Homo-oligomer: A and B are copies of this chain.
């Protein structure tokens, strides 16, 4: 306990203006805190997964393998426009990839982490029911 407790460390301008209780721990935490850019990227990934429509799209692709926009819209219960907008976002963030054939656009998952993220979150919320995939 020979740390300087109750010392105000200079952090962000609008950070806690009072003293910190355990300065040593705060310093240690700040040392391993991921960079702003990393935190933001992390937030972006989770933000992508935070919408029911996109979640259903991913669940559909998890099961269906490769599907066109109209089928995806039908399978997820949303308009084609909404599905297209959502798929655009997922495409931008490299979560899905598209294969064009004539006027059709076939989408599939581009990232193997999605399934794990999905199942992990499923485990978290308690609904640990298995989906029919192998």
Q: Footprint of B on A, CB under 8 Å? A: 9, 11-12, 14-16, 18-22, 25-26, 28-34, 36, 38-52, 55-56, 59-60, 63-64, 67-68, 70-71, 73-80, 104, 111, 113, 116-118, 120-125, 127, 129, 131-133
- Chain A interface secondary structure, helix, strand, loop or mixed? helix
Q: Is the CB of A46 within 8 A of B43?
A: no
Q: How far is the CA of A60 from the CA of B64 in the complex (A)?
A: 39
Q: Which 5 A-B pairs have the closest CB atoms?
A: A47-B50, A46-B49, A12-B77, A46-B50, A16-B73
A49–B79 Cα distance when bound, in Å, is: 27
Contacts of A38 in B (CB 8 A): 122, 125, 127, 129
Contact of A39 among B33, B45, B52, B116 (CB under 8 A): B52
B113 and A34 contact, CB distance less than 8 A: no
Alpha-carbon distance between A59 and B29 when the two chains are bound, in angstroms:
8
A125 to chain B, nearest CB (A): 4
A21 touches B104 (CB 8 A): yes
